[in-house]
Amino acid sequence: MLTPLSLIPSFGFGDRLGLATPGHIAALRGTKFAPIFAQQSVRENTRTGRTPQQVLDDAKRAVDTAKWDAPWGADADHLKMLEEIPSFVDAGYTFFTIDPGEYVDNAADSDPLDVLKRKAASVMNWDHISMLYLDQNGEQVWGNFELVSLQRAVVKYNNAIQHAVSMFNRLSQFKEYFDFEVSVDETDSPTTPLEHFFIASELTRLGVRFTSLAPRFIGRFEKGVDYIGDLDALDTELAKHAAVTAHFGTYKLSLHSGSDKFSVYPLIAKHWGNRIHVKTAGTSYLEALRVLASHEPDLFLKIYSLGRECYEVDKRTYHVSADLKMLPNTNDLPSLLNDFHAREVLHVTFGSAIGKFGVELKSALKKHEIAYYEGLRIHFEKHLNLLKD
Ligand code: ZN
């Protein structure tokens, strides 16, 4: 049943080729997670040439075939503009992820005090906000802002919050029940726990019923590879973010770029238990390429060579650090899918690859569908097992 999932622990499976859902179902059956089987951002749809309706129809077909009769959701991911909403509503999506990242003032983190003061004063509701958040006299555990930390939070996030409110209000005109997520995970600088508090507090105050929130954490969450950064520092930081979510108790923590973050899952499970949503996408595409590497080496080599050509351009809208000069020199093609640099190169060039070889790619996967589903099952069981609390 396609339905909002509210606070049930959930796991999102982006599927750029529209063929992976049977493998996702096999991995997820019997776990505590409710699945999002259709999850596609506008950016992904542009690159794969699919419409919101097609993405949902592909997932629905697989759900029917597998006789999956438990709740599942469909995520309109990273919606940035009001005009993007209707086509996802019409198609029947249940989960809407708002990305107000373009309204975040990243410079607020480093603005000198006089600039910060001027910017804060120009925020329309500054007087009201400062009254709400300053001078709490230490009465509450959270939300004790110093003037400067409040100025930074307001300057950095106020416009983004206002945009999220507009998106929520527009959606509410179309639908009564839906999951609503606010994500600031693709901003330039991390979200501090105090800023996380400010965002959640303002959204709540302004009447936004959000079911999940995705902060940007410290360190690097790059696509299709494990976490890059200091895990102990992350653990400490996550504990503070978990205190914020516990304070409100009304929404799940959402982890974006959740593919292959094997070292982070135990920390997420430790701090949030069941109050989590995890998003993956590119890793299912990489599992498809793993099948090609074993069974259709010629096609794999064409995709790999195109990937190397297109990487420098295609990587621009992603946070990745792979270096073409570091690609391994090997004839063992499946081993490339275990290499950091090759994974990122193959990951971010999916749009170019699908544009040129999509038909061949899909027919090869249909030919080797048992291997594909089995690869997906094993790969996602690894994810889901580490998220057990
Ligand atoms: Zn994201």
- Is it the case that residue 386 has pLDDT exceeding 70? yes
- 78 C-alpha to ligand 1 centroid (Å): 7
Which amino acid is residue 327, in one-letter code? L
Distance CA 225, CA 115 (A): 38
pLDDT of residue 26: 97
- Is it the case that residue 7 has pLDDT exceeding 60? yes
pLDDT of residue 135: 66
Are residues 253 and 217 in contact, defined by beta-carbon separation less than 8 angstroms? Answer: no
pLDDT in tens, 297-354: 999 999 999 999 999 999 998 889 999 999 999 999 999 999 999 999 999 999 999 9
Are residues 286 and 303 in contact, defined by beta-carbon separation less than 8 angstroms? Answer: no
pLDDT of residue 134: 84
- 385 C-alpha to ligand 1 centroid (Å): 22
- 135 C-alpha to ligand 1 centroid (Å): 35
- 297 C-alpha to ligand 1 centroid (Å): 32
- 188 C-alpha to ligand 1 centroid (Å): 13
Distance CA 197, CA 182 (A): 13
Are residues 337 and 259 in contact, defined by beta-carbon separation less than 8 angstroms? Answer: no
- From the list 186, 212, 259, 252, the residue with the least C-alpha distance to 20 is 259
The tokens of 215 are what?
A: 């902060």
> In degrees, to the nearest 5, what angle opens at C-alpha 222 toward C-alphas 217 and 224?
130
- 222 C-alpha to ligand 1 centroid (Å): 11
- Is it the case that residue 83 has pLDDT exceeding 70? yes
What Rg value do the Cα atoms of the chain yield, rounded? 21
pLDDT of residue 303: 98
β-bridge mates for residue 249, sequence order: none
The active-site residue out of 44, 77, 111, 195 is: 77
pLDDT of residue 313: 97
Rounded to two decimals, what is the model's pTM?
A: 0.94
The tokens of 258 are what?
A: 């959740």
Which residue reads 């690894």 in tokens?
A: 382
pLDDT band, residue 78 (cuts 50/70/90): very high
Largest CA distance in the chain: 68
- 257 C-alpha to ligand 1 centroid (Å): 6
Residue 260's contacts (CB-CB under 8 Å, 6 or more residues apart) are: 224, 225, 226, 280, 283, 383
Distance CA 179, CA 44 (A): 20
The per-residue pLDDT of the chain, averaged, comes to 95
- Burial letters for 281-317: b for 16+ Cβ neighbours within 10 Å, e otherwise? bbbbbbbbbbbbbebbeebbebbbebbeebbeebbee
pLDDT in tens, 104-156: 999 999 999 999 999 999 998 898 998 888 865 555 556 678 899 999 999 99
- 20 C-alpha to ligand 1 centroid (Å): 20
**Residue ranges covered by each domain of the chain:** 10-282, 285-370
The active-site residue out of 84, 181, 222, 344 is: 181
Residue 240's contacts (CB-CB under 8 Å, 6 or more residues apart) are: 193
- Is it the case that residue 208 has pLDDT exceeding 70? yes
Average pLDDT over residues 39-43: 91
Q: Domain 10-282 is of which CATH architecture?
A: Alpha-Beta Barrel (3.20)
Distance CA 279, CA 181 (A): 12
- 275 C-alpha to ligand 1 centroid (Å): 18
- The answer to whether 77 is a known catalytic residue is yes
